[in-house]
Amino acid sequence: MARYELVKRSVALITLTNPPVNALSSAVRHAMAKSMEQALNDPKVTAVVICGENGRFCGGADIREFAGPLRGPPLVPLLDAIEAGEKPVVAAIEGVALGGGFELALVCHYCIAHFKARLGLPEVTLGILPAAGGTQRLPRLIGIPAALELITTAKPLSSRRVSMLTTPCPPDLDALLEVVTMEVKKKARGVMAPLACIQAVRAAATMPYSKGIKRESELMATLFNSGQARALQYCFFAQRTAGKWTLPSGAQWNNSKPREIRSAAIIGLGTMGRGIVVSLARVGISVIAVESEKKLLETGKQMVIGMLERDAKRRGVSASLNLLKFTLSLQDLKDVDLVIEAVFEDMALKKRVFQELSKVCRPATLLCTNTSGLDVDALAGVTDRPHLVVGMHFFSPAHVMKLLEVVCGPRSSSETIATAMSLGKRMGKVSVAVGNCPGFVGNRMLKPYMDQATFLLEEGATPEQIDKALEDFGFAMGVFRMSDLAGLDVGWRIRKESGLTGPDVDPKNPPRRRHGRRYCPIPDMVCEQGRFGQKTGRGWYMYDKPGGTNAKPDPLIQNLLEMYRSRYAIQPRNISDQEIIERCLFALANEGFRILEDGIAARPEDIDVIYLFGYGFPRHRGGPMFYASMVGLERVLERLEHYHQAHPDVPHLEPSPLLKKLVACGSPSVQTWREHIKTMHSHL
């Protein structure tokens, strides 16, 4: 009544055998139930195919059985069990799938039908209705109008070729497409592909197939030849390239074995520490979190638990709270496999922590720092194991942001680097190995980019104009909105510590010059007014309340800029969007070339991946280095020379030797730049 076979040692083939139409008699239902049980319980079986003998799938219930009492297993629970089964079930339909046979097909996870097959629900002709879920599943599958037509008329469908169908169209098609277009434009600024998809679907709805398919191919040709497709395909490969880290010593991803990490500790439960704890615990690593004071420990603990619970709820799993331990004592870290330090950005404090860790932790424990720019090697130097010290630079919020810069000090062993890279991967991060220098790759490049933005303010632009130009380019957020989100006080503190501003600066120093180069004090003036960004409700913009996210232009900033310009006798000028993009992004890429020269990044792909995953660089532009190559290196060089001539006191605008060298070599493609950097010194 149903034949069970194992095909290719992994597919269970169940053939209904009840001539002439393989009706679902009690014997067939019984045999099917047994066969399904066998298939679901056999670990060798990975999928099930149901078909009917003699080229007929199933003609439905056995009408002869209607007269008597029900015998054998009822159909509905049998069908429900097939649908709920964990293995995929495919209905292979030939001939007919009618009534109960069609309902059987409806519960299968996939259906394949011969184009001559007939499908339908003829129950109404017998004065009944499709009662094995047909009236419930079909409307869900094909919508109410089409389901009503099939169920109430009993007209069978032939299995038509999809290209011959007309597209079911809502009456308000234009309004629907308009809404989707707006959503797509908002989510993916300036990206062509989703808009082209909408146009293609419009063609499906409004044209016959032969014309629609032509439109599809025209749209594809436009996309295929666009820079965006090239950029997005480059991003796909760049991400894979970045995983294949390589050091000049010959150590690389495929010859260095990572250690297994079962337990970790985090020092400091502030903004970053909390996110790192969550990232580790949710992949099953037990974590000891350390704070300096009881109250901070308790606050941190509650925050971490809340974050883990929300995260687990979203993923439909249970929160791994049993993996967490909270303590005030470093002594509890004796046996952990790895420590990540995330205390304040203060070298003296970090050194003290590393010295202490070096004493407390067993000799094999890896010691990592989340510093956003301090010298990783100086920290390694205060420990008894410099080869086991590495930077693991997460981005905020650490449990959300995908990027991890693995900062290799000159003494970090290849095993240490491999372990940090593989731990990053395990946490779902995109890890990029970088060398040790102030700011590493991402933050080092950010400086010239942000400098240009503030210089443009001096010269006549507004924060909203600059942000708009960058957002139109494709950034999720312009530089000023991003700074407001991150908090302006962080950079202010760093500038004070490095003697650029604050009471320690010699008042005889001209305010707009530091260390022999142009300096813009406007960000310091904004901070002096207690405007630290979103968290204080005021920054480059104003917000409804502290912590608000709705940025509005602030007339006070406008006043501040006007007063500033008049104090320094700066005649404001109209600045074009093109100048904004060129000065910000070419300065950014120029620093990228220097980073390649210095061997802080091994390849342009690494830099691009850092900017894509850590700094919101638009993916359809490929990253700053790819973007420079798309604009044309010759043009980038010419524009940098032009801007450097106009602003000779801005060294970041002076074209880097590598850029000049690449232009002299005929501007080779990004993927081959590495060959031109080979001879230079590497910090990796």
Which residues are marked as active site?
A: 103, 123
267 touches ligand NAI by CB under 6 A: yes
Helix axes 577-597, 633-646, angle to 10 degrees: 110
Q: How far is the CB of 407 from ligand NAI (least distance, A)?
A: 11
Q: How far is the CB of 557 from ligand NAI (least distance, A)?
A: 23
Interface with ligand NAI (CB under 6 A), residue from 353, 520, 561, 612: 353
Interface with ligand NAI (CB under 6 A), residue from 270, 439, 553, 616: 270
391 touches ligand NAI by CB under 6 A: no
Query: Could you tell me which stretch among 60-68, 285-293, 331-339, 568-576 binds ligand NAI (CB under 6 A)?
Result: 285-293
Interface with ligand NAI (CB under 6 A), residue from 228, 279, 371, 536: 371
* Residues 526 and 539 sit within 8 Å (Cβ to Cβ): yes
Q: Is the peptide bond before 397 cis (omega within 30 degrees of 0)?
A: yes
Strand pairing partners for 448?
Answer: none
DSSP H helical ranges for 263-321: 271-281, 294-315
Interface with ligand NAI (CB under 6 A), residue from 292, 355, 667, 671: 292
* Residues 517 and 510 sit within 8 Å (Cβ to Cβ): no
Interface with ligand NAI (CB under 6 A), residue from 99, 120, 130, 268: 268
Interface with ligand NAI (CB under 6 A), residue from 39, 342, 427, 637: 342
**Is 2 strand, coil or helix?**
strand
Query: Could you tell me which stretch among 42-50, 155-163, 271-279, 470-478 binds ligand NAI (CB under 6 A)?
Result: 271-279
Interface with ligand NAI (CB under 6 A), residue from 296, 360, 505, 581: 296
Q: Beta 286-290 vs 263-267: how paired, if at all?
A: parallel
- Count of residues of this chain found to bind ligand NAI when the rule CB under 6 A is applied: 24
273 touches ligand NAI by CB under 6 A: yes
Interface with ligand NAI (CB under 6 A), residue from 263, 279, 370, 419: 370
Q: How far is the CB of 487 from ligand NAI (least distance, A)?
A: 8
Q: How far is the CB of 359 from ligand NAI (least distance, A)?
A: 14
Instruction: Measure the CA–CA gap between 658 and 318, rounded to whole angstroms.
Output: 51
332 touches ligand NAI by CB under 6 A: no
Q: Which of 323, 319, 299, 297 is nearest to 308 (CA)?
A: 319
Interface with ligand NAI (CB under 6 A), residue from 288, 290, 456, 607: 290
Distances (CA, A) of 240 to 406, 670, 676: 16, 15, 21
CA atoms within 13 A on the CB side of 143: 6
Among residues 477 and 570, whose Cβ is nearest to ligand NAI? 477
Q: How far is the CB of 189 from ligand NAI (least distance, A)?
A: 24
Q: Beta 89-93 vs 96-98: how paired, if at all?
A: unpaired
Among residues 229 and 486, whose Cβ is nearest to ligand NAI? 486
Q: Which of 333, 287, 291, 337 is nearest to 308 (CA)?
A: 287
372 touches ligand NAI by CB under 6 A: yes
345 touches ligand NAI by CB under 6 A: yes
Among residues 288 and 631, whose Cβ is nearest to ligand NAI? 288
Q: Which of 266, 333, 323, 318 is nearest to 297 (CA)?
A: 266
Strand pairing partners for 52?
Answer: 16
Strand pairing partners for 552?
Answer: 542
First to last CA, the chain: 69
Neighbours of 502 (CB within 10 A): 14
Q: How far is the CB of 357 from ligand NAI (least distance, A)?
A: 10
Q: Which two tokens stand for residue 458?
A: 């001096």
Q: Which two tokens stand for residue 302?
A: 């509650």
Instruction: Measure the CA–CA gap between 189 and 238, rounded to whole angstroms.
Output: 22
Instruction: Measure the CA–CA gap between 653 and 642, rounded to whole angstroms.
Output: 9
Q: How far is the CB of 345 from ligand NAI (least distance, A)?
A: 3
Query: Could you tell me which stretch among 107-115, 279-287, 390-398, 410-418 binds ligand NAI (CB under 6 A)?
Result: 390-398
Of all helices (H) and strands (E), which one includes residue 98? strand 96-98
Instruction: Measure the CA–CA gap between 413 and 417, rounded to whole angstroms.
Output: 6
Among residues 407 and 637, whose Cβ is nearest to ligand NAI? 407
Interface with ligand NAI (CB under 6 A), residue from 13, 272, 418, 526: 272
307 touches ligand NAI by CB under 6 A: no
Q: Which two tokens stand for residue 668?
A: 């080779």
Q: Which two tokens stand for residue 266?
A: 């985090």
Query: Could you tell me which stretch among 43-51, 85-93, 287-295, 451-459 binds ligand NAI (CB under 6 A)?
Result: 287-295
Distances (CA, A) of 324 to 266, 278, 290, 319, 328: 11, 10, 11, 11, 14
Q: How far is the CB of 428 from ligand NAI (least distance, A)?
A: 17
Chain residue at closest Cβ approach to ligand NAI: 270
Strand pairing partners for 61?
Answer: 24
Instruction: Measure the CA–CA gap between 300 and 270, rounded to whole angstroms.
Output: 7
Q: Which of 437, 443, 430 is nearest to 612 (CA)?
A: 430
22 touches ligand NAI by CB under 6 A: no
269 touches ligand NAI by CB under 6 A: yes
327 touches ligand NAI by CB under 6 A: no
Q: How far is the CB of 486 from ligand NAI (least distance, A)?
A: 6
226 touches ligand NAI by CB under 6 A: no
Q: How far is the CB of 274 from ligand NAI (least distance, A)?
A: 8
Segment 447-476, which members bind ligand NAI (CB under 6 A)?
none
Among residues 345 and 654, whose Cβ is nearest to ligand NAI? 345
Query: Could you tell me which stretch among 160-168, 267-275, 453-461, 531-539 binds ligand NAI (CB under 6 A)?
Result: 267-275
Interface with ligand NAI (CB under 6 A), residue from 62, 94, 291, 458: 291
Among residues 106 and 353, whose Cβ is nearest to ligand NAI? 353
Instruction: Measure the CA–CA gap between 500 and 519, rounded to whole angstroms.
Output: 9
Among residues 479 and 633, whose Cβ is nearest to ligand NAI? 479
Question: Can you point out the beta strands (E) in 450-522?
Answer: 513-514, 517-518
Query: Could you tell me which stretch among 156-164, 369-377, 500-508, 511-519 binds ligand NAI (CB under 6 A)?
Result: 369-377
Strand pairing partners for 513?
Answer: 518
446 touches ligand NAI by CB under 6 A: no
Among residues 182 and 328, whose Cβ is nearest to ligand NAI? 328
Q: How far is the CB of 273 from ligand NAI (least distance, A)?
A: 6
Q: Which of 405, 351, 407 is nearest to 381 (CA)?
A: 351
Interface with ligand NAI (CB under 6 A), residue from 303, 343, 522, 631: 343
Instruction: Measure the CA–CA gap between 485 and 397, rounded to whole angstroms.
Output: 11
271 touches ligand NAI by CB under 6 A: yes
Among residues 408 and 637, whose Cβ is nearest to ligand NAI? 408
Q: Is 233 exposed, middle or buried (0-12, 13-18, 19+ CB in 10 A)?
A: exposed
Among residues 345 and 472, whose Cβ is nearest to ligand NAI? 345
Q: At a CB cut-off of 8 Å and minimum separation 6, what does 528 contact? A: none
Q: Which two tokens stand for residue 541?
A: 């913009």
Q: How big is the chain, counted in residues?
A: 684
3-state DSSP percent of the chain in helix, strand and coil, to 5: 50, 15, 35
Interface with ligand NAI by CB under 6 A: which residues? 267-273, 290-292, 296, 342-345, 349, 353, 370-372, 394-396, 486
